[in-house]
Amino acid sequence: MNNRPKELLKSVFGYDQFRPLQEEIITRTLEGKDSFVLMPTGGGKSMCFQIPALCFEGITIVVSPLISLMKDQVQALKSNGIKADFFNSSISPTEENEVIDRAKKGETQLLYLSPEKLISVSNSWLKELKIKLVALDEAHCVSMWGHDFRPEYTQLRVFRNSLPEVPFMALTATADKSARQDIEEQLGLKDSKLFISSFDRKNLSIEVRGQVPKKKKLQEISQFVERRRGESGIVYCLSRKNTEEVAAYLSEEGHSVEFYHAGMNPEERERIQTEFINDDTKIIVATIAFGMGIDKSNVRWVIHYNLPKNLEGYYQEIGRAGRDGLPSETILYYNMRDFVLYSQFADDGANSVMQKEKLNRMLQFAEAKSCRRKILLSYFGEHLVSNCGNCDVCQNPPKSFDGTILAQKALSGIARMGQKEGITLLINVLRGSNNADVHEKNYTQLKTYGVGKEVSFFDWRDYIIQLANQGLIEIMYSENSALKISPLGKKVLKGEKNIQLTYPVTAEEKKKKPKIVRIANEGEVNEELFKELKKVRYAISREENVPAYIVFNDKTLQEIARELPVTENEFLAISGVGLNKMQEYGEEFMEVVRRFKSIAKPRKIPTTLETFGLYKEGLSPEEIAEKRKLSSTTIYSHLSQLYSEGKEVDLMQYVDSNTVKKVKEAYEQLNKEGALKPIFEKLNENVSYGEIRISLAIIQRNE
């Protein structure tokens, strides 16, 4: 891979390292190949097409069904100095013409369109654009198996066929195996490669509480919120009535809260969503109609007041917490009434059998007695080796026993039945039932017929669900919920691996309250400084009319409060600080740090001195970058600063005299303004930011 993407990652977005798979996806895209990207909410999907968009000479089309998310992403791109626009039903005819004009002139790098708008203009002005990449966000909407079926997405295949040489990228956070196959077929992706990122969001604690009476549930939620006063959170409810009741209760307790559901007028919903995004309202109590278009990074907790309909929806909803990577909490409340209501809804809807099976799987998750993160990841085809330690089951583990023989009996039954039957028929065979289906399919002749007759039907069901939750078997909803043995299951069946099962939980044990799990944040943060930085961020966000997290997210502010940067190079070394944001906002934040510097706890070893120590050991900048897990650009920044401070650093070994001369000419033509971006542009982007920074250090020290 060439260095351009990594340079853009640091200089534009402010990050030193790509997340897993991002670099590989970007490389494939730059080679002109199709990709299917399956990453969790907050996993970094957008970077996979935004970096290539900046590398290509032309325009990238991003198809998204979520108008508010388009607006957020375009605002975030513009804050990083990227030329982006959106084209959807929310803009006026005049604004539409302005967007079209900029796109035709080649002034737009990324253009976001709703699927409806894309289809309507695909045979008009869109044909005049130099399209280099098409990204299809929320791709699960194209699938008949998806939970948010969007008919317009099925017409995108025609659009794909009209651009045979352009790479297409489908991205989603929620798609099981059946949906993945369907999406690829519906979109007509060509030899696409599937990239599945880890769905393990370690920063999210998971807790499930069952059969809690309504009054007690409201009290618990209020107490939970009180302990986190001032933090942003979402409460998801089953009905509109519930949202209003819970919001009223929390409001009476003195919390900043609003309710949100589809029965409200669009203007009111827009106002509430905007106030939440801008941190003016801290808590939203909503139906699942809320959140799809929100890219808010500082949601610290999500509570489900009722049982969700399926694990895909549940995972996506809890994924709205902690998108900045900081510790965040999730709690799920459920009771059997929720389950019955959803079953009735499923009877009246499309794909009734599949929806009910997924609902059953959701209930199995809620009632599980093994690591919940293992269950979630297993559902998405990912298997954890160890328990997570950050869910209620891990914190209060049930009694377990060696369940290898029981598992082998079940797995053998699945195999001998051709991996084409569901749970109920499997249990009937294991228990030696005289059920008509068992006789009709001649399963009484199987060696596994009756091998588990001493175990009750309900206990067998519990054990088989545990096998699914531990990733030994998969439930194929597109094949009438047939049970399939996974690679891990085959190892257990062959006796190559043992497993633990837990005893079925009694009704009394279910009533016990699990303790709330929280994980601590790493590193020391000056909390007083952090609050002051948030005030500055809020003031900037109001002035620029953008959400606060688009200025900087909480994680970046915490790093500022921990690292205490007071120079341009130090500020650029902060994760999430790119050149544009440093130029726009850096001085305001550094001024706050300078005021606090005298009372703040200093770092044990300044980050530049760590670099200096390794430099004196004879390591090259690239070796230092690898050892410190930072980008080379950051290390060159450190060396430049050390040189400016009078340390013995030989910068001339990293840049030739001709480059220094070019930078000096540009620097003087720009009235000796030391900002890097104007010099970079003045030199037609032919000199890297690292070379500019080194050259400036040499020039300024010799002035």
DSSP 645-678: TT----GGGGS-HHHHHHHHHHHHHTTT---HHH
Cα torsion 541, 547, 552, 557: sign: positive
Element (H, E) at 618: none
Amino acid making up residue 48: C
CATH superfamily of 204-346: P-loop containing nucleotide triphosphate hydrolases (3.40.50.300)
Whether the pLDDT of residue 601 is over 70: the answer is no
Spatial contact of 146 and 140, defined as CB atoms under 8 Å apart: yes
**E strand map for 64-148:** 84-87, 110-113, 131-136
Q: Which CATH architecture does the domain made up of 4-196 adopt? A: 3-Layer(aba) Sandwich (3.40)
pLDDT band (50, 70, 90) for residue 188: confident
Buried b (16+ CB within 10 A) or exposed e, 225-245: beeeeebbbbbbbbebebbeb
- CA atoms within 13 A of residue 417's CA, in its CB half-sphere: 32
- Please spell the DSSP secondary structure of 631-648, one letter per residue: -HHHHHHHHHHHHHTT--
CATH class label, 527-701: mainly alpha
Q: What is the model's pLDDT at position 689?
A: 75
- Enumerate the β-bridge partners of residue 302: 234, 330
Spatial contact of 219 and 230, defined as CB atoms under 8 Å apart: no
- Please spell the DSSP secondary structure of 187-209, one letter per residue: HT-SS-EEEE-----TTEEEEEE
Whether the pLDDT of residue 415 is over 70: the answer is yes
- Enumerate the β-bridge partners of residue 236: 286, 304
pLDDT band (50, 70, 90) for residue 357: confident
Mode of pairing for the β-strands spanning 473-476 and 482-485:
antiparallel
Q: What is the model's pLDDT at position 522?
A: 47
Phi, psi of 85 (to 5 degrees): -145, 160
Q: pLDDT over 70 for what percent of the chain?
A: 92
Q: What is the model's pLDDT at position 53?
A: 96
Delimiting residues of CATH 1.10.10.10 domain(s) in the chain:
400-504
The DSSP secondary-structure symbol of 475 reads E
Least confident window among 112-116, 370-374, 413-417, 646-650: 646-650
Q: How does pLDDT run across 293-324, given as a tens digit for each residue? A: 567 889 999 999 999 999 988 998 998 999 88
**Dihedral class, residue 508 (left if φ above 0, else alpha if ψ from -120 to 50, else beta):** alpha
Average of per-residue pLDDT across 573-592: 91
Q: pLDDT over 90 for what percent of the chain?
A: 45
Whether the pLDDT of residue 240 is over 60: the answer is yes
Whether the pLDDT of residue 440 is over 60: the answer is yes
| pTM for the whole structure | 0.66
Spatial contact of 424 and 464, defined as CB atoms under 8 Å apart: no
> Residue 565 is encoded by which pair of tokens?
């940067």
Amino acid making up residue 494: K
- State how far the Cα of 160 lies from the Cα of 135, in Å rounded to an integer: 11
C-alpha closest to that of 166 among 183, 145, 189: 189
Domain 400-504 has CATH 1.10.10.10: yes
Spatial contact of 135 and 106, defined as CB atoms under 8 Å apart: no
Q: How does pLDDT run across 524-546, given as a tens digit for each residue? A: 678 889 999 999 998 898 888 88
- CA atoms within 13 A of residue 223's CA, in its CB half-sphere: 7
- State how far the Cα of 300 lies from the Cα of 515, in Å rounded to an integer: 18
Q: What is the model's pLDDT at position 291?
A: 64
Delimiting residues of CATH 1.10.150.80 domain(s) in the chain:
527-701
Average of per-residue pLDDT across 449-477: 88
User: Who wins on pLDDT, 155 or 509?
Assistant: 155
Phi, psi of 547 (to 5 degrees): -60, 145
Average pLDDT over the chain reads 86
CA 194, distance to chain mean position in Å, is 17
Q: What is the model's pLDDT at position 212?
A: 85
Q: What is the model's pLDDT at position 402?
A: 94
Whether the pLDDT of residue 278 is over 70: the answer is yes
Q: Inter-axis angle of helices 554-563 and 527-544, to 10 degrees?
A: 130
C-alpha closest to that of 334 among 210, 508, 516: 210
Kindly tell me the burial class for residue 647, based on how many C-beta atoms sit within 10 Å of its own C-beta (0-12, 13-18, 19 or more).
middle
Element (H, E) at 567: none
C-alpha closest to that of 359 among 383, 336, 387, 390: 336
pLDDT band (50, 70, 90) for residue 609: confident
Phi, psi of 310 (to 5 degrees): -160, 165
- State how far the Cα of 345 lies from the Cα of 677, in Å rounded to an integer: 56
> Residue 631 is encoded by which pair of tokens?
């980008």
Delimiting residues of CATH 3.40.50.300 domain(s) in the chain:
4-196, 204-346
Cα torsion 89, 94, 95, 96: sign: positive
Whether the pLDDT of residue 144 is over 60: the answer is no
- State how far the Cα of 45 lies from the Cα of 52, in Å rounded to an integer: 12
Mode of pairing for the β-strands spanning 500-502 and 400-402:
antiparallel
